[in-house]
Amino acid sequence: MELYVMTTRELRRLEVLQRLRAGEITQRQAAVRLGLCIRQIKRLWRAYQ
């Protein structure tokens, strides 16, 4: 079993991206929650997928 160490910022991003994938929030809401612009969220989303 591998153990991954993540910063608080990375954990927050992961949580928001998982909620986005589940359809619980929109890209705009994700951007607001993370303090990013929509363009950055789209870039993160593509990398996440």
**pLDDT (tens digit per residue) in 1-49:** 888 899 999 999 999 999 999 999 999 999 999 999 999 999 999 999 8
**Element spanning 20, H or E:** helix 8-21
- What is the model's pLDDT at position 4? 86
Alpha carbon distance 43, 28 (integer Å): 13
The pTM assigned to this predicted structure is: 0.83
User: What is the SS3 assignment for 22?
Assistant: coil
Sorted by sequence, the CB contacts under 8 Å of residue 13 that are 6+ apart come out as 34, 44
- pLDDT for the residue numbered 29: 97
Residue 1 pLDDT? 84
